A and B are shown apart, each in its own frame.
Chain A
Amino acid sequence: MEAIKLVRQSLFHPFDFFYDIQFEKRAKLINALAIMALACVARIVSLMLSGFAFRTREAVDVSIPIEILWVLIPWVTWAISNWAVSTIIDGEGKFKDILISSSYVYLPYILLIIPVSLLSNLLTLKEISIYGGIYYFMYGWMAVMLFLQVMIIHDFEFGKTVGIILLSILGMIIMWLIIVMIYGLVNQAIVFVINIMKEIRYRS
């Protein structure tokens, strides 16, 4: 019952919710993790359930670990980037608050993605606007929640919030680039070591 109450408040009264979350010790990491787990499950289930006409990928093309990463990486990098940016520009949010409150942004996704996928089994490509409309609504809702989350957690005004969000997105992209770069370099280094070992083995 407690969980349902939290969900309802966050979805329909996000102002109060994001305000309360900082003060009343309601920010529990376990809740955030549960939400993210649900989001992962919802994503995978929706990929499996969506109608053939709307499926952009075949089942064989879907890799569950990668789909999970697609959910988790934006969340974690957003929290880090947003925290880093807002600490410089006197935001009030603590990292834990940001991490936990931004997980609630995924609630509309969890709520809507599976019904949309089920509905796509009954729709044809002629009614793609219905399908797309629900998607837009869902992402719009998420965007509004994200915006309110940043605004309330850090106690910013409107204009500043927009700026912080843009900077955070930039920070996210930089982080991804660095991760890809490091991955590439480490990969090369490992291949190099392996090759040397092979060479030594051949020659000895």
Chain B
Amino acid sequence: MRSIRSYTRILLLVCAMALVLPAAAYAKSPYTGYIYNSQDDDKPALNGYLYGDSFDGYDMTSGSFKAPEDLFVTPDDTLYVVDSGNNRVVHMDPDTGAVFTIYGDKEGKGALNGPKGIFVAKDNSVYVADTGNKRIVVFKPEGAFDREYGLPQSELIGTDFNYSPAKLIVDKRGYMFVSNEGSTLGLMQIRPDGSFAGFYGANHVPFSMTRVIVKLIASKEQRDQLASEKPPEFSNLFQDNEGFIYTTSLGIRFNQVKRLSAVGVDTLNSGTHRYGDYYMKSVDGEFEHETIVDVSVSKDGFITALDQTNGELYQYDKLGNLLFIFGGRGNQNGLFKTATSVAETSDGAIYVADRERSRIDRFYPTPFADKVHEASILYVDGKYNDAMKPWQEVLQMDSTYDMAYTAIGKAYYRQHKYKEAMTYFKLGLNRGGYSDAMFEYRKVYIKAHFGTIMTIVIICFILLQVLLRYRRKRKIAKKRSEFLGTVKGGGVSGSH
């Protein structure tokens, strides 16, 4: 009797516990996680980011969005949405959905026409690239029109320049850096007084063998007919909290994301680094071309780039190592139709604006991503030993995450444990690291076993000498016997 009662009690307890435990929210992600390993092969990986929710403005005081083009997150984690189809900018709290201010008047100087870019300065004045009106508008924080900047006058710009400001940032001095749609000359630098300060960080025409060959073969008329080669155009720019300017470029396959120094030199990529998808799918026999339209950099330096063509987001660490790929094109939640902008709040949530669907999707990092971030922050700062433990935990979650093996290998290398380093570099398919570790390991090994190695070498040497001497002797003996044979034969014939 007693035992039955205690069983029921346990059963009840278990049931109660099941109620208390939070039910694990389970939703199948519409995209499967993958990553490019060190051999540039796409390999399955755990998802770093999962779709959380979306907001489209319907239940907000602003009313619904229409074709949002750009997002901006302030240091205090409020969100500015460039609601291009409604010709306005909405300042909102992404967590509560509360709308603070709406910029863009119905008429007058503050009326916007298809704005495409936004930047909010330290003093909360709002710079809007009013693309349709070919100007940059500055609003006061409370929403009133402040001033505007048209096309600056300068000899450098030329007369047939098509001014169409799309994206912009403002640096600490108040200088505006504007990416002009369709312009290949670089970012326009405009002073606070509206004068032109020059072009900045222009891309270069990439070298192309086909072009050289075509130029060699083609006649002058043919050459004139060829489209002139223009350097890639900037599609977007982003300023991180240290003041570095990140740019994205269109029409190139390498170094689409750059971090420009004060003089406009790329400090992110040494040599060529490929961003985005390595194997774009082909449609009607032609390979699609990636369109990196936006980039966002978190306070820890994680770079998230958005490719509009396949709707995928790529997150890199400060050094440009690929960490996660997520998103895609489609109709389900978590996929996009035409993604236009990406932004990140300080809690790690990533916001993506979708022009065609007129809504903003929010993605949250998974526990796996949190672990990778924790490890990566230590790793890129060179704290390999501290990073080892989180990397090992990363491997417990996803044992095919190549970067973790390389990182642990580097930690072992630094601890002078070269044999372990070799093992991990091998697992991470890192040949350079493996070779360096082996170089050290070989030194240590030879030092430790010097006696044995020398003995073996000496014995081999002596054996070789003995063998050579023996062969020489045999040869001489053979020759002598042949010689004697001929002499004998000669002697016999001579005696007759």
A binds B: yes
- What A residues does B438 contact at CB under 8 A? 53, 124
- Closest-CB distance, B44 to chain A (whole angstroms): 15
Question: In the complex, which residues 47-65 of chain A have their Cβ closer than 8 Å to any Cβ of chain B?
Answer: 52-53, 55, 58
A188 to B434, CA, bound (A): 45
A-B contact count (CB 8 A): 21
Contact B442 A126 (CB under 8 A): no
- What B residues does A122 contact at CB under 8 A? 442
The verdict on B439 contacting chain A, using a C-beta distance below 8 Å, is: yes
- Closest-CB distance, B219 to chain A (whole angstroms): 30
Question: In the complex, which residues 400-437 of chain B have their Cβ closer than 8 Å to any Cβ of chain A?
Answer: 426, 429, 431-432, 434-436
The verdict on A125 contacting chain B, using a C-beta distance below 8 Å, is: yes
Task: From B39, B426, B429, B442, give the contact of A124 (CB < 8 A).
Answer: B442
- Most B-side CB within 10 Å, residue of A52, A53, A58, A124: A53
A53 to B439, CA, bound (A): 11
Total A residues in contact with B, Cβ cutoff 8 Å = 8
A58 to B39, CA, bound (A): 10
* Shortest Cβ distance from B436 into A: residue: A124
* Shortest Cβ distance from A54 into B: residue: B431
- What B residues does A58 contact at CB under 8 A? 39, 429
Contact B439 A52 (CB under 8 A): no
Contact A125 B442 (CB under 8 A): no
* Shortest Cβ distance from A122 into B: residue: B442
- Closest-CB distance, A155 to chain B (whole angstroms): 33
Contact B442 A53 (CB under 8 A): no
- Closest-CB distance, B401 to chain A (whole angstroms): 17
A126 to B426, CA, bound (A): 17
- Closest-CB distance, B438 to chain A (whole angstroms): 5
A53 to B39, CA, bound (A): 13
- Closest-CB distance, A50 to chain B (whole angstroms): 12
- What A residues does B434 contact at CB under 8 A? 52-53
Q: Known: A124-B435, A124-B436. Is A52-B426 also a contact (CB below 8 A)?
A: yes
Contact A126 B431 (CB under 8 A): no
- What A residues does B436 contact at CB under 8 A? 124
Question: In the complex, which residues 17-67 of chain A have their Cβ closer than 8 Å to any Cβ of chain B?
Answer: 52-53, 55, 58
Q: List 7 A-B contacts (CB under 8 A).
A: A52-B431, A52-B434, A53-B435, A124-B435, A124-B439, A124-B442, A125-B435
Known contacts A52-B426, A125-B431; 6 further A-B pairs (Cβ under 8 A): A53-B434, A55-B431, A58-B39, A124-B438, A125-B432, A126-B439
Chain B interface residues toward A at CB < 8 A: 39, 426, 429, 431-432, 434-436, 438-439, 442
Give the 3 A-B CB pairs with smallest separation, nearest first: A125-B435, A53-B435, A124-B435
